[in-house]
């Protein structure tokens, strides 16, 4: 499969699994990162060792519109084409109403909503040439709010609508779909759950376990190949949303 995929926030965690998995299928991967330069370098070296010039890394702070645009032009300069854009990068932290700031609003809205919109805009001319697709990493909390995370939940709800709106606007040349993960990787730092909170979450999940980044990879893989599917958001949550 001679495809080029750009994955935002791909140095670590779910994004890195997507990069490895799609590369293993023969795709050229562009690994976008912001702070995780070392992890991006290690991943890109690993992939290039397996197949020279099959992985590239590009730095961008997606809060900045100019850097969003450069991310697409640099991708094209390096690879000459773009088949798949995966909007995976995201900032995630609590913003209780009493203490939330405008800076929090701008940060969470930019990475989770504004950047996917403007990256889609900049990429659309190239994706159209390849009859390509866009896949947005959303969240089951786009539909049912996560308590104390209102700005994040609002941004992901917007990303849900962005997925539907652009699927309509960009057809028939570009397909646009989303994946709404449930509990896949434990959140880090201020978002981490206590053992008790985690056990409650698992009890309230039909499949009684967390998922893994490979579960997201399988859904991405399907959506890349699903030529007659657009405007869909697939929950990959082990049935967690049935209990919310």
DSSP per-residue string spanning 115-170: HHHHHHHHHHHHHHHHT-EEEEE--GGGTSPPTT-HHHHHHHHHHHHHHHHHHHHH
Let me know if 152 is a catalytic residue: yes
Contact 159, 116 (CB under 8 A): yes
User: φ and ψ at 30, to 5 degrees?
Assistant: -105, 115
Q: Which of 41, 46, 63, 70 binds ligand NAP (CB under 6 A)?
A: 63
Beta partners for residue 66, in sequence order = none
CB of 172 vs ligand NAP, minimal distance in Å: 27
Which is the catalytic residue, given 93, 152, 198, 228? 152
Q: How far apart are CA 47 and CA 165, in angstroms?
A: 35
Q: Are strands 133-137 and 55-59 parallel, antiparallel or unpaired?
A: unpaired
Q: Which of 4, 5, 7, 11 binds ligand NAP (CB under 6 A)?
A: 11
Q: Determine if the peptide bond prior to 14 is cis (ω within 30°).
A: no
**If binding is defined by CB under 6 A, does position 114 make contact with ligand NAP?**
no
Per 3-state DSSP, the chain is made up of helix, strand and coil in percentages (nearest 5) of 50, 15, 35
Q: Is 111 in the site for ligand NAP (CB under 6 A)?
A: yes
**CB-closest chain residue to ligand NAP:** 9
Out of 90, 124, 163, 205, the residue judged to bind ligand NAP by CB under 6 A: 90
Residue 155 interacting with ligand NAP (CB under 6 A): no
Q: What is the distance between the alpha carbons of residues 137 and 152, in angstroms, rounded to a whole number?
A: 13
Give kind and range of the element (H or E) at residue 29: strand 28-33
Find the shortest distance in angstroms from Cβ 2 to ligand NAP: 26
Would you count residue 218 as binding ligand NAP (CB under 6 A)?
no
Taking alpha carbons only, the member of 134, 139, 82, 91 closest to residue 112 is: 91
Q: Any contact of residue 36 with ligand NAP (CB under 6 A)?
A: yes
Number of residues near ligand NAP (by CB under 6 A): 25
Asked if residue 61 binds ligand NAP (CB under 6 A), the reply is yes
Among 3, 6, 7, 9, binds ligand NAP (CB under 6 A): 9
The CB-of-35 to ligand NAP minimum distance in angstroms stands at: 3
Q: Is 15 in the site for ligand NAP (CB under 6 A)?
A: yes
63 versus 128: smaller Cβ distance to ligand NAP: 63
Tell me which residues in 170-199 interact with ligand NAP (CB under 6 A): 181, 183-185
Indicate the SS3 state at residue 200. Answer: helix
Nearest distance from residue 200's CB to ligand NAP, in Å?
Answer: 16
Active-site amino acid positions: 152
Footprint of ligand NAP on this chain (CB under 6 A)? 9, 11-15, 33-36, 61-63, 88-92, 111, 137, 139, 181, 183-185
């Amino acid at each position: 499969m001679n495809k080029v995929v750009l994955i935002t926030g791909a140095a670590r965690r779910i994004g890195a699994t997507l990069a490895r998995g799609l590369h293993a299928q023969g795709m050229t991967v562009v690994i976008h990162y912001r702070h995780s330069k070392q992890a991006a370098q290690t991943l890109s070296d690993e992939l290039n060792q397996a197949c020279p010039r099959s992985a590239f890394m590009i730095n961008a702070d997606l809060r900045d519109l100019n850097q969003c645009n450069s991310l697409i032009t640099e991708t094209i300069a390096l690879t000459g084409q773009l088949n798949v854009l995966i909007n995976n990068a995201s900032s995630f932290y609590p913003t209780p109403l009493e203490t939330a700031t405008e800076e929090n609003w701008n940060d969470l809205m930019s990475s989770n909503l504004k950047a996917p919109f403007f990256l889609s805009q900049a990429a659309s001319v190239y994706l159209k040439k390849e009859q390509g697709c866009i896949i947005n990493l959303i969240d089951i909390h786009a539909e049912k709010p996560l308590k104390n995370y209102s700005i994040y939940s609002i941004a992901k709800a917007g990303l849900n609508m962005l997925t539907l709106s652009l699927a309509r606007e960009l057809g028939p040349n570009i397909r646009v779909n989303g994946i709404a993960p449930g509990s896949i990787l434990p959140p880090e730092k201020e978002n981490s759950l206590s053992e008790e909170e985690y056990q409650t979450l698992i009890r309230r999940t039909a499949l009684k376990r967390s998922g893994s980044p490979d579960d997201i990879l399988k859904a991405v893989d399907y959506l890349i190949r699903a030529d007659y599917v657009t405007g869909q958001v697939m929950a990959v949550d082990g049935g967690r949303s049935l209990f919310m």
